[in-house]
Amino acid sequence: MSVLITIGPIKVLTAWLLMFAASQSLANSNPSKDSAASPLAGKTIVGEAEYLKLIPGNVVVTARVDTGAKVTSIGVTNIQEFERDGERWVSFDLPSTNHKKKKKDKAAENASESIEPPINISRKVVGYALIKQHSGEPIKRYEVNMTLVVGDYEQTIRVNLANRENFVYPTLIGRNYLTGKFLVDPSKKYEQGMPKK
């Protein structure tokens, strides 16, 4: 310890900084170790909104990316429960055009241009979701399995069915689709372009 005192505090600080820099250089000299440990490795960037293909139906809609939603929510209408082979099923209408486009194109609608009818889909019920509302009782929503495509990534997941006609985005992409594959950059939109599959 007396050696450190005699060489002065500035030299001690300089020596310590050199040793620290050398240790950092050695730590950074093995990039494979760092990249394997990085939680960002292999992730795809998505924006706050993306084009989403829904299967069955092969409909492409605009979807809001919502990291606050645990489960993806699909905007549908005319939900009807029925029984098939002793199991609960639902039929519902999937809009063949995007809600957002419909709202913007009211003039075209009024000009009696043809609008494609909704696509009727039937799926087996795999569960129910209770959705909390700001006012009133929770809403019970049906959950079914559907395949979703963003960019070139396709995944079959559980989604809940909701009437989202009054919302700008007919679909919310939740964490059950995003986790492990995507990073969200809220400053971007439609980063992945139209679905590739």
What 3 state SS string does 18-61 have?
HHHHHHHHHHHCCHHHHHHHCCCCCCEEECCEEEEEEECCCEEE
- Both tokens of 188, joined, read 């971007």
Amino acid at position 144, single letter: V
Mean pLDDT check: name the lowest of 64-73, 124-133, 169-178: 124-133
Whether the predicted pLDDT of 94 surpasses 60: yes
Instruction: Determine the pLDDT at residue 106.
Output: 45
Burial class (CB in 10 A: 0-12, 13-18, 19+), 30: exposed
Tell me the residue type at 160. N
How high is the pLDDT of residue 14? Answer: 46
Question: What's the CA gap between 61 and 72, in Å, rounded?
Answer: 14
Q: Residue 176 — very low, low, confident or very high, per pLDDT cuts 50/70/90? A: very high
Higher per-residue confidence, 133 vs 128: 128
Q: Which of 36-50, 65-79, 173-187 has the weakest average pLDDT? A: 36-50
Q: Which two tokens stand for residue 197?
A: 């599959």
Rounded Cα distance between 15 and 131, Å, is 61
We find that the CATH architecture of domain 44-184 is: Beta Barrel (2.40)
Q: How far apart are CA 73 and CA 167, in angstroms?
A: 12
